[in-house]
Chains A and B, each alone.
Chain A
Amino acid sequence: MVDESLNLVLFSGTDDKLQAAAVLTAGAAALGKPVNIFLQYWALDAFRADRIGQDHGLAPEAGVAGRAAVEALARAGQAPWAETLRQAKDLGGVDIQACSLSMDLLKLESTDLDPLVDGVEGVTAFYLNAGGGQVVFI
């Protein structure tokens, strides 16, 4: 279980979902599990170099109280999701790829993306990298 890869398909580009994905990634990396992350649609948009540090909003279910709770945690010093992902990558075994179709959709070039993103690939390459490991869609 521990040595199997964790494979995250990130679709949503809101800060709460990206934070949850970053924490899952960090925990897996701490255990030495390989992590493959595939960025699609609005998650990919959040990894644009010129936007990664901006406010990406929250999922609709957060509501006003949820927004206040998230902001309180940030004020208390919770690392932003991009920083948590950077730390996870420092541990090793974390590969972040942009979906080539979403790159076309958003009219992006590799140079538009934050250096956290290791490359651009298609969905078949993602599945091949995932091997027999579980795939989680966020």
Chain B
Amino acid sequence: MTDAAVAITRTVDARGSFCPGPLMELIRAIRESQVGDVIAVYSSDKGSKTDIPKWVEKAGHRLVSLETSDGYDVIVVEKLR
């Protein structure tokens, strides 16, 4: 973790969902969240670890961390606006 102090508000388990499913699930979760909430996305899709950080930057949120473990990626995002 690049920022171990951040507490996860919500976890979205999108493992088994194919591109662009994990991003769609993240966007839905962000819309339902409050500013400052931190969302962790689990993804086994190869595209998401490149696409989600790019989307996070474009959408004006913050990428807290991106880690790979046991064949899936854990992408943590803070909602900023």
Contacts and interface: CB of A to CB of B under 8 A. Distances in A.
For chain A, which range describes its interface: under 10, 10 to 19, 20 to 34, or 35 or more residues?
A: 10 to 19
A138 interface: no
B20 A23 contact: yes
B17 interface: yes
B55 A30 contact: yes
Contacts of A91: 24, 27
A30 B20 contact: yes
B16 A77 contact: yes
B18 A30 contact: no
Contacts, number: 32
Nearest to B26: A30
Q: Mostly helix, strand, loop or mixed at chain A's interface?
A: helix
A108 interface: no
Given A2-B58, A90-B28, A91-B27, A27 B20 contact: yes
Nearest to A78: B18
Given A30-B55, A31-B58, A73 B20 contact: no
Nearest to B19: A23
Interface in B31-80: 51, 55, 58
Interface of B: 16-21, 23-24, 27-28, 51, 55, 58
Closest 3 CB pairs of A and B: A78-B18, A26-B20, A77-B16
23 contacts: A23-B19, A23-B20, A27-B23, A27-B51, A30-B24, A30-B27, A30-B55, A31-B55, A31-B58, A73-B18, A76-B16, A76-B18, A77-B16, A77-B17, A78-B18, A79-B17, A79-B18, A79-B21, A84-B21, A87-B21, A87-B24, A88-B24, A91-B24
